[in-house]
Structure 1
Amino acid sequence: MWPVRRIVGESLLAVVFGLLGAGIEALGHGGAVRLVAIGLAAGVLSPLRRVLPATVLLVTAAGSVTFDGLAPLVLVVAWSAGRRIDGVGKAMGVFGLVYVMILGLGILHELPHFSLSYLAFGILGLLVTIVVPGLAGRYWSQRRALTDTLREYNAQLLRERAMIAGQARMRERQRIAQDMHDSLGHQLALIAVHTGALEVDRELTGRQREAVGVLREASVAAMHELREVVGVLRDGTQVPGRGEAAPDPAGAGAVDATVSSRGVAGIDGLVAASRGAGVTVELRGSGEARPLSPTGDHAAYRIVQEGLTNAHKHAPGAPITVELRYEPDSLVVEVANGPAHGAADPGRSVVSGGQGLTGLGERTRLLGGMVYAGPTADGGFRLAGVLPYTSPEGGGPGPVRGVAATTFVDPTGDFREQSPVGLLGEGDPVIDGIGLPRELVKAMGTNTRRSGIAIGCGVAAVFALLLVIAVVVGGILLVGETDKAMIEPKQYDAVKVGQSEAEVRRKLPDGDSLLTRDLDKGAPPVPAGAKCLSLNSAEFGSSWSTTPVFRFCFKDGELIEKKSFEVRN
């Protein structure tokens, strides 16, 4: 089914050709029935050229020999047929058949007045009206098909490049994950083992043993978080290693993956750990608790974790307030600490990369929220985050649409998953064979652009050469036809009635020309028994639709009448 735009365009084009065909037939003094028939035929054949290009070309070309109203439609039909006929051989066969058929029908139609001049005009005219539009349509269609194929191939190359880049990123993530697991995992395991051993030392006081226990729990929690981050970097959920369960470094048994919650529920554990370190921490809550998306729940935990960490590093001993406010449209997480009691001991300073707040800002931005960090009026520091309950698109609690559950992995359903490739690191090619069409392979050679320019210039040169030949030959033939069919008014005045026919004919052209073919239509009656010679006048007529004519009538070997009149074109 055609789109509405094409239906409207084809309807208007059919009306234009119908009216144009009827108007041309009206100039030839056709009857009302003939005008209506030609108009309807042109209007019907115009849209059919898209469905039956070869058939419509044959019918329109054959009809144009007898009906002049179909002549304008031939140009459009030939161009359309050149675009839509499949196969070069079939197109050449159809256009060759049309060319020969029209030329033959034209000769038969003009057989009483046939001449070599008519044959030459017919050959050149058909070349310009049928062959040239067909070649132009064919070239335009092939150029468009090649352009579309090149565009599709370019899009395929872009997809492949993105797939290769994704594989490179995945391999780099795996390398980083392995380095983190081998280095940090080893160090955290040593901390957990030593703190576990120190915790059971009988020489420690209760306060010291409690502090060591906090250290051991923190190291175990850090190992769990490290394993989670490594799993994310590997783009999977399996804990790095060789698939074995991770034993508790302190020897307390297997570690449950759910011991350390990484959401709002785990904030109580963070507060308890800080209190265990001897810091005054107050946890407040307001509003009715509502569920968040997994990423939002994790972001809330990270905001509190970052706020407590910064308070311990930059304001040791200062009281801390953690507040969770469930607003109507979002959860507000706030961590505020008072001013430090004194300057921090440089020997106890903790290395800081300065990337914690930046990471929180990126994490909350992906959720549609925001993070604020700045000093308070009493000299302390405040870290607050706003986390919406729903995604920016207005969906329910869940991952933000179009955003991955974490910034380290690619979105699900990405095109990289649509083409099967080998395992990472095996170096398998992305695509074994491109399978491009022959035209595209030829056009994509080492000299593609130059070849395309050469082809275009060649086709344009052929068109220009054909037009030049047609104009030159047509001009020559027109001059010859004019000499046979046209005289000046002074030549007409020089001829006198009563002169012998032989003498008059020596002074005048023979009139055997295409230009004198229709000069008898609408002319005055011919004298009885006379034979007349009608010639064109070199002057213009009284209007654009009339042609001045000089007629000489002979009888019994002498000129008995000469007349000057005008006939309609």
Structure 2
Amino acid sequence: MAKTRAGWDWLRGPEPWTRRMLAGDLALAAVLAILGLGIEELDRGSGQRMLLGAVAVVALTLLRRRLPAATLVAGSALSSALPGLFFVLPLLGWSAGRRIVGVGRALGAFTLAFVAALAFSVLDQWSQMRPLLIIVFSTLMFLAVTVMPGLASRYWSQRRTLLAALHERNGQLLRERAMVAGQARLRERQRIAQDMHDSLGHQLALIAVHTGALEVDPELTDRQREAVGVLRQASVSAMHELREVVGILRDGVESPPMVEEAQPAARGVAGIAGVVEAARAAGTEVRMTTSGRPRQLVAACDHAAYRIVQEALTNAYKHAPGAPITVELRYEDDSLVVEIANGPSAGPDEDVVSGGQGLTGLRERARLVGGMVHAGPAEGGGFRVAGVLPYGAEPAGAQDVADDFGQQAQAQKGTLPQAPGRRGEQQPMDWAAVDRELAVRVPSRAGGIAVGCGIAFAAVVVLVIVMIAAAVMLMDTAVDSMIGRDEYDAVHVGEAEATVRDRLPGGESFLTAGADRKGPPRPEGSECLVLLADDQTGQSLTTDLVFRFCFKDGKLVDKQAYEVKQ
């Protein structure tokens, strides 16, 4: 069993050979064997030669994948003795042109196959044809039947390899371009993080210090001291959030909270109650309601809900100070609805500073998690912000952020391509050069068809040349093997052999091969010359009129005229 499997693996060679491919090869071998039997029948081959030719066709077809050069040489050499191999030669040439590695090896294999085919053809037909015609005919046939399929196969295989290499190179360039762009984004994020840390961090620290000192001032009333405590707690929470945002921008991970400072409030649905309580402590009338069965949200949606409530409360503080606020959380079947509404107010404070980006940011945040945010005037006055967030949607940009972090890690390990320059200095990327690399045009389908048509046209031209050469050779040999009735009658039994042969053609032609044995019995010990009649009038399409002259002891001892089946 092990030997059988080893033999099967050797027969398959380096290419994967599935059952479908094996069935296809067997079917192809059967078709070629049937066509070869037809040629053997036309050549009047024996049954043994037909069987041997069919076996050879099947063996060469199955072995061509594993031994492309050997099968090409063997098929070319055996084709002269086994005419049934004619139709398998193009297949062997195609397989050899595609599978032989290296131009030198392929040229050597085709040259050896040509020499073998030419040598065996000359040996097989030496007695019936002129050697020069044999060489010309065999050369043209080899070019048309074997070389042309090999060239076409090699071109097709190399074109596919080139296309695969181009696609792989373009993919690599695209990946490198994405990595460089990711590095640029990370550098910009680090710069922004540094600016936020240096500017906002300093200001918030000053606020925390001054409010802390003000909180212990003995001249303040309890109400004032409570308000200052709320301010100090808000500044500390803002410093925590700023530190986490800076950490995410810089390293892609949240910064650990400092031990000496208070822990920041949870930023999710669970933290909304804290935000509402802080607003109440600041003197704002806020009412919060929850309906439905609470459900767990993914982290991105949970955080988005918190930010919607936080931003909506901030807008209410700015634009409707003193107006009552309602916060409602509704757990629907497929989504969480967060609604914040405030009543009408006399108008915003004159010193309100607004960047105009809060609601736009909320809409984008909700869009990234598959939800939506609506903001606008409420019925009866006031303003209303409502957000709809699905329970299980992941942020659309999560993969991009993960890719950025992965690229940053690769850059820190030194695996990303770096532009030449000093250590630690990022060189500007030549995007024009990258675009030129990406713009490499692969050969079009029309170009491939044109080349294929050119190869096919060349093969047709060679075949036409072969047919013309074969016709000329046939006419030449026919002229050298025909005489008229008058010439036959002018020769008499008893004349000298030399005199008769000087008056008659040589008769070396495949057209008369074996015809001397198909007529009346020859005189014993005689040597016969068979010629065709140049006038076949009255003969059927399947018979020929031949003239036989038999010589013995230097004289013409017998002459016969009879019909022979083709």
Query: TM-score, structure 2 length as denominator?
Result: 0.77
Equivalent residues of 2:240, 2:264 under 8 A apart: no
- What's the CA shift string for 1:459-493, capped at 9, x where partnerless? 999998897678558735743541441599xx977
Q: Which residue of 2 aligns with 1:370?
A: 372
Shift of 1:497: 5.3
Corresponding residue number in structure 1 for 2:324: 319
Does residue 475 (structure 1) correspond to residue 468 (structure 2)? The answer is yes
1:385 is matched with 387
Structure 1 residues without counterparts, runs of 5 or longer: 247-252, 392-399, 431-443
Q: Pick closer, same or farther for the CA change 1:217–1:468 going to 2, 3 Å.
A: same
Give the Cα–Cα distance (whole angstroms) in 1 for the partners of residues 512 and 184 of structure 2: 81
Contact 2:286–2:324, Cα closer than 8 Å, also in 1: yes
Shift of 1:57: 2.0
Conserved 8 A contact 2:64-2:95: yes
1:485 to 478, 490, 494: 478
CA 1:324–1:297 in structure 2 vs 1: closer, same or farther (change >3 Å)? same
- Gap change, CA 1:221 and 1:284, over 3 Å in 2: same
Counterpart-to-counterpart distance in 2, 1:448 and 1:403: 32
Residue 402 to residue 513, structure 1, CA distance change in 2 (3 Å): farther
The answer to whether the aligner puts 1:341 opposite 2:339 as a matched pair is no
Go from structure 1 to structure 2 and tell me whether the alpha carbon gap of 1:9 and 1:368 turns closer, same or farther (over 3 Å shift).
farther
| Count of residues paired in the alignment | 521
Q: Aligned residue for 1:62?
A: 77
Matched residue of 2:251: which SS? coil
Q: 1:33 to 1:469 in 2, by over 3 A?
A: closer
| SS of aligned partner of 1:66 | coil
What letter is aligned with 1:330? S
Superposed counterparts of 1:200-211, under 5 Å: 200-211=216-227
Task: Say whether 1:498 aligns with 2:489.
Answer: yes
- Paired AA for residue 534 in structure 1: L
Report what 1:435 is aligned to: none
Residue matched to 1:223:
239
Q: Is the 8 A contact 2:96 2:150 kept in 1?
A: yes
Please tell me whether the aligned partners of residues 368 and 395 of structure 2 are also in contact (alpha carbons under 8 angstroms): no
8 Å CA contact retained: 2:121, 2:134: no
Match among 145, 154, 171 for residue 138 of structure 1: 154
Counterparts of residues 146-545 of structure 1 (less than 5 Å) = 146-237=162-253, 239=255, 254-256=260-262, 258-338=263-343, 340-345=344-349, 347-354=350-357, 356-391=358-393, 400=394, 404=398, 410=403, 417=410, 420-421=415-416, 426-427=424-425, 475=468, 478-479=471-472, 481-486=474-479, 495=486, 498-500=489-491, 511-513=507-509, 516=511, 518=513, 520=515, 525=520, 531-534=529-532
**Inter-CA distance 293–133: structure 2 relative to 1 (3 Å threshold):** same
Are the equivalent residues in 1 in contact too, given 2:516–2:529 (CA < 8 A)?
no
Unaligned 5+ segments in structure 2 are 1-15, 429-436, 493-497
Q: Secondary structure at the match of 2:79?
A: helix
SS in 2 for 1:498: helix
Instruction: Tell whether 2:110 aligns with 1:86.
Output: no
Tell me the amino acid that sits aligned with residue 70 of structure 2: T
Three-state SS of the structure 1 residue aligned to 2:35 is helix
Which amino acid in 1 is paired with 2:308? Answer: I
Residues 459-468 or 27-36, more deviating? 459-468
- Report the counterpart of residue 112 of structure 2 in structure 1: 97
1:156 aligned partner, one-letter code: Q
| Residues 211, 229 of structure 2: 8 Å contact kept | yes
Encode CA deviations 1:27-75: one digit per residue, 9 max, x unaligned.
3344556545533442343232112212322332233222222111111
Q: Provide the rounded CA distance (Å) in 2 between the counterparts of 1:521 and 1:297.
A: 105
What SS does the corresponding residue of 1:254 show, helix, strand or coil?
coil
Amino acid at match of 2:490: Q
In structure 2, what is the equivalent of residue 77 of structure 1? 92
Identity of matched residues, % = 47
| Aligned CA distance change for structure 1 residues 357 and 184 (closer, same or farther; 3 Å) | same
Deviation at 1:171, TM superposition (A): 0.8
Tell me how far apart the structure 2 counterparts of residues 182 and 537 of structure 1 sit (CA, whole Å). 115
- Helix, strand or coil: the match of 1:265? helix
* Residue 249 of structure 1: aligned partner: none
The amino acid across from 1:69 in the alignment is: G
Q: Is the 8 A contact 2:129 2:477 kept in 1?
A: no
Q: Which residue of 2 aligns with 1:106?
A: 121
Normalising by structure 1, what TM-score? 0.76
Question: 1:283: Cα distance to partner?
Answer: 1.2
Q: Residue 530 of structure 2 aligns to which amino acid in structure 1?
A: C
Separation (CA, whole Å) in 2 of partners of 1:309 and 1:537: 117
For 2:339 and 2:441, the matched residues in 1 are separated by 63
Q: Is the 8 A contact 2:304 2:365 kept in 1?
A: yes
Cα pair 2:531 2:548 within 8 Å, conserved = yes
Which digits, 9 at most, give the CA deviation of each residue in 1:70-90, with x for residues without a partner?
111111111111211223333
Partner Cα separation in structure 2 for residue 423 and residue 195 of structure 1: 49
1:551 maps to which residue? 546
Q: Bigger shift: 94-103 or 479-488?
A: 479-488
2:63 to 36, 43, 48: 48
- Aligned counterparts of 2:325 and 2:477: Cα–Cα separation in 1: 115
3-state secondary structure, aligned to 2:353: coil
Identify which range, 227-236 or 465-474, moves more after superposition. Answer: 465-474
- In the TM superposition, residue 22 of structure 1 has moved relative to its aligned partner by 2.9
CA contact (8 A) 1:552 1:562 kept: yes
2: CA distance between counterparts of 1:362 and 1:500? 113
Aligned partners of 1:192 and 1:43: how far apart in 2?
92
**Aligned residues: CA RMSD:** 4.5
